[in-house]
Amino acid sequence: MCGIVGYIGDKNCVPILINGLKRLEYRGYDSAGLGVIINHECRVVKNKGQVALLEKKLEEVSLSGNLGIGHTRWATHGVPNEINAHPHFNSSKNLLVIHNGIIENYQTLKAGLQKFGYKFISDTDSEVIPHLIDSFLIKGHSLFKSVQLALSEVEGTYGLIVIYDEEPDRMIAARKGSPLVLGIGDKENFVASDVSAILAHTKQIVYLEDGEVVEVFKDHFIAKTVLDKEIEKEVHEITMTLDEIDKGGFAHFMLKEIMEQPESICNSMRGRLLLDKGTSKLGGLESVADRLASSSRIIISACGTSWHAGLVGEYMLEQFTRIPTEVEYASEFRYRNPVVNKDDAIFFISQSGETADTLAALREAKDKGALVLGICNAVGSSIARESIAGVYTHAGPEIGVASTKAFTSQLVVLALITLLIARKKNMSLVDGKSIAEELKTIPDKISKILKLNDTIEEIAAEFKDVKNFLYLGRGYNFPVALEGALKLKEISYIHAEGYPAAEMKHGPIALIDENMPAVFIAPKDSTYEKIISNIEEIKARKGRIIAIASENDDKIDNLVDYSIKIPDTIRMLMPILTVIPLQLLAYHIAVKKGLNVDQPRNLAKSVTVE
């Protein structure tokens, strides 16, 4: 979480850092700060709240320089305030550090440093880092060596940048468990936690790996490990454009990303769907496809929205491949000493590819000898690099904290994987072609649903002031109920729960009254009549009902208060369609409540700390 960016070159770093922080604000927006070295002196400006407030504060301060660092915070240790904001000083105020991650042994380190007279002013774990580095500097070590020695004593995770007024021609960056990239420019270099922060200035990127430390000058860099082993780093050319990470005329990134789903899903399928053969071609899985198809068990591990995608994937894989499939919360997976066998295949799903829990679970499974596979959106991310094989979703940058297009692209990729395995096993050509042909129609069907935006906005106006929501679905659409409830919780702060509709009578129905609306996901499939019975039960208790229904369903209109009609598709692909109205409903309710949908309170886009 948190966003960090650094610059060294011949330009004034302040506007570069501010613009970088604006690009990174989806990673944290509790507080923000800049640190610049001017004439061998460290200058810091920081502020509680969003980057815009920091930018306004800078209008009243004369601050410029050729070396600087910036940070936007998602609070872990210490409340959001100016003191806890980064950068943090050493006692002499000649060294600055910005940090993303958690120092797990900070209390032990802090106690030891205090015995040597170091004074702490913040409540953060991060403040131990500048003092620890200082404890080696005063012994005569260089900045680079002092950082190496300090990090050898640190337990936990970090992505950090250090600058020092006695060595103003360089910045030091290091990574362990928290993403960090180096951007190579023309007589200028950059460091950031995300490519988006530096995309306006360079497309030449170096990905740092865990345990690496780089000494960055304006015209070159030196990379070593914490243990001082020299390493060679490869420079990558990225293809992302600035247009992809701008709002494009939409009021919010979330709305833009919802509306991009016909395109993002096309991108997820492009070149992968073999209609004539009724299968898919996934280059990232070619080397392991036979091993995958012969797996005795498939496990899907993920967090949040990606976990919901995994639940849909479980339905797909078990129905069509007949391989037992389990879905695990990555945050719990490695802590319960899971039973993992060498003939297991484990998919790790993460939009960012940097989710700390998911990455840790991947490493655990890899150590146990399983086939570890990544499903990621971010090219070059840690999960993508550390997986044995995998598939990119190619959804494009997703800036809104509440995931939308990443979710539907994950569902498409899971469908392509299911098709690939099933055709290798026992699925007929006819059945394979039928699924492939239906997949091809999905973008156009989503476009049709998106035209209902105004209708959904009107429904949202009726429900913006309610305190609770219930989301209900069966079969493939049960995970969609979970995802719809999560979207509402994330951005509108309305309490919402998702349940299998059949479980309603086992407790949740006690909540139903005229103030408790229920959203039913009720397409005409094999569970339809059962869903209708559940709707009748809610109606009998004066509950208000919104139904996501098939476009040819006239019966349901007489039973519900509001119906949102969507095109039909086969059961395994229906979640890709049914989730779209729920995304729009959550979005419009939040907007009508006057909330910031792109930066909901307490949340950050990429969860890079456990």
Could you give the residue numbers annotated as active site? Answer: 2, 605
329-to-338, 355, 360, 589 alpha-carbon distances in Å = 12, 12, 12, 29
The side-by-side arrangement of strands in the sheet containing 171-176 is 88-89, 95-100, 158-164, 171-176, 212-216, 221-225
Pairing mode of beta strands 279-280, 204-207: unpaired
**Closest by CA position to 127, among listed 107, 152, 147, 155:** 107
CA dist 610 and 607 (Å) reads: 8
**Closest by CA position to 4, among listed 138, 168, 126, 167:** 126
CB 579 within 8 A of CB 408: yes
DSSP assignment string, 162-211: EEETTSTT-EEEEEEBS--EEEE-SS-EEEESSGGGTTTT--EEEE--TT
Pairing mode of beta strands 389-392, 371-376: parallel
CB 37 within 8 A of CB 68: yes
CB 12 within 8 A of CB 65: yes
Cβ-proximal residues to 167 (8 Å cutoff; 6+ apart), any chain: 142, 143
Q: Which amino acid is at 429?
A: L
CA dist 231 and 216 (Å) reads: 14
Q: How many Cβ atoms from other residues are within 10 Å of residue 94's Cβ?
A: 18
**Element (DSSP H or E) covering residue 7:** strand 3-8
Residue 347 pairs in a beta bridge with 300, 373
**Element (DSSP H or E) covering residue 245:** none
